[in-house]
Amino acid sequence: MKNLPLKNIALIVAAGSGARSGQHVPKQYVMLGGKAMICHSVSAFSDHPNIDATYIVIGNGQESIAAEALRGITFDGLIIGGDTRQNSVFNGLEYISNIISNANILIHDAARPYLRHDVIDRLLSALDHHSGVIPIMPMTDSLIILKNDVMASSLDRDNIGRVQTPQAFDLQLIYAAHKKARQFREHSYSDDAQIFQAVGHKVATVAGEAALHKYTFAEDFMNNSKQQFRIGSGYDVHRFAKDEQLWLGGIKIDSDIGLAGHSDADIVLHALTDALLGALSMGDIGDHFPPTDPQWKGASSDIFMKHACQLATENGYTISNADITIICEAPKIGPHRLKIRQSIADILCVDLDQISVKATTSEKLGFTGRGEGMAVQAQILIERSS
Ligand code: CTP
Ligand code: MG
């Protein structure tokens, strides 16, 4: 736990079963952007400089799935929830009130993963003047009252707000309000602001955010299981040398002139390996295979390419496509193009149509134009489903 006295506490409720979401696990444990949904809001609170402790309420029986999802994530305590959201929040408040007497509390749904610090900042500032504050969003659609499926009247949407979480309160006041609300047995409340207001307190509002949208139905997950794309580029140059072989994309080209280099000087695979490492933000080929290391002398460059592929796979990425441009006056690349593409596709374990190889001269200009060496540019796109 962070240093006492604790001023601002976060309480995340994650004890629901997500019945409406149609997911194979309770929705707060579904993977979003590479981590379980619950981790997003836990980190948003833990990383905030003015949040002193973060507690999480999980469902009875969710202990092991929660432990797995939260591995490596910083928080201050786990509490077992109840059969309704209201009861889960109550359990959390009871637990926290037993160890902390005076604080602000921000109560948040784990089902709203994308919590930005500016919402927390607005709530904390408003708490300087109010004992209860909620984020709200304006209504954009018109609102009507229905009677037997027919429009009976309309509402003035300017006086209507859509309520989000976190909802921020004085800890003692919201705990007392929850205790009182338990006496109204017939009524259950869908959030804490309703309870706070029902016992006579004022609830102030600040601007919410569209990103705080609550994941509820299966389509919420479809919209957000979008692919994540990353792009990388690579460039390499090698000098022509007599008595050297010419390897391009894993294919030995019949040529009386080759490229000089520490390894087999496969300039195409070097540029493409750098592009893939770049897409992963994992340095460059020299970081992974230092040219000073004798073990890479004469090495076949598909080792480098396969290593970068392995890193991509380990991080959940697949290759969308690669586009390579070879710049030289000679040899002519056209006759070898298909073989080079197929070889690269085989090394990357992708289809031929995912690999493009183009060639150009530099109009006799510069080192490539004078036939002193060859240059290659490579771009690669990788994707991962969140
Ligand atoms: N929640 C909770 N305890 C419950 C029910 C809900 O802590 N007994 C939490 C959910 O985990 C969620 C938040 O309250 O973070 C908002 O509830 P909701 O969106 O209704 O989630 P679920 O109850 O899990 O979903 P459903 O109603 O579809 O079953
Ligand atoms: Mg629910």
Q: What digits encode the pLDDT tens for the residues 63-121?
A: 999 999 999 999 999 999 999 999 999 999 999 999 998 999 999 999 999 999 999 99
Q: Which residues line ligand 1 (CB under 6 A)?
A: 13-21, 27-28, 57, 81-85, 88, 109-111, 214, 216
Give the residue-averaged pLDDT of 363-371.
97
pLDDT given for residue 180 in this prediction: 96
pLDDT given for residue 346 in this prediction: 95
Pocket test for ligand 1, best of 25, 57, 109 (most atoms within 8 A of CB): 109
How far is Cα of residue 202 from the mean position of the Cα atoms in its chain? 37
pLDDT given for residue 314 in this prediction: 83
Whole-prediction pTM: 0.65
> Is residue 61's pLDDT more than 90?
yes
- What are the tokens at 142? 């018109």
Label residue 271 by pLDDT band (50, 70, 90).
very high
Which ligand does the CA of 109 lie closest to? 1
Under 8 Å between Cβ of 126 and 114: no
The DSSP line for 224-240 is: HS-EEEEEEEEEEEEEE
Between these two residues, 274 and 223, which has the higher pLDDT value?
274
Which ligand does the CA of 84 lie closest to? 1
CA 25 to ligand 2 center in whole angstroms: 14
Which ligand does the CA of 26 lie closest to? 1
> Is residue 385's pLDDT more than 70?
no
pLDDT given for residue 184 in this prediction: 82
pLDDT given for residue 3 in this prediction: 38
The atom number, within ligand 1, closest to the CA of 110 reads 15
209-212 own/partner pairs: CB under 8 Å, 24+ apart: 209/114, 209/116, 209/118, 209/119, 209/135, 209/137, 209/164, 210/137, 211/114, 211/116, 212/112, 212/114, 212/115, 212/119, 212/135, 212/164, 212/165
Look at the block and give the residue holding tokens 């390996």: 273
Share above pLDDT 90 across residues of the chain, in percent, rounded to a whole number = 85
pLDDT given for residue 226 in this prediction: 58
pLDDT given for residue 280 in this prediction: 96
> Is residue 323's pLDDT more than 90?
yes
pLDDT given for residue 224 in this prediction: 54
> Is residue 197's pLDDT more than 80?
yes
**What does the mean pLDDT of the chain come to?**
94
Neighbouring CB atoms inside 10 A of 137's CB total 15
- CA 370 to CA 182: how far, in whole Å? 86
Between these two residues, 170 and 298, which has the higher pLDDT value?
170
pLDDT given for residue 154 in this prediction: 95
Pocket test for ligand 1, best of 27, 85, 107 (most atoms within 8 A of CB): 85
Look at the block and give the residue holding tokens 């602001």: 193
CA nearest to 55, candidates 88, 25, 16, 32: 88
> Is residue 316's pLDDT more than 90?
no
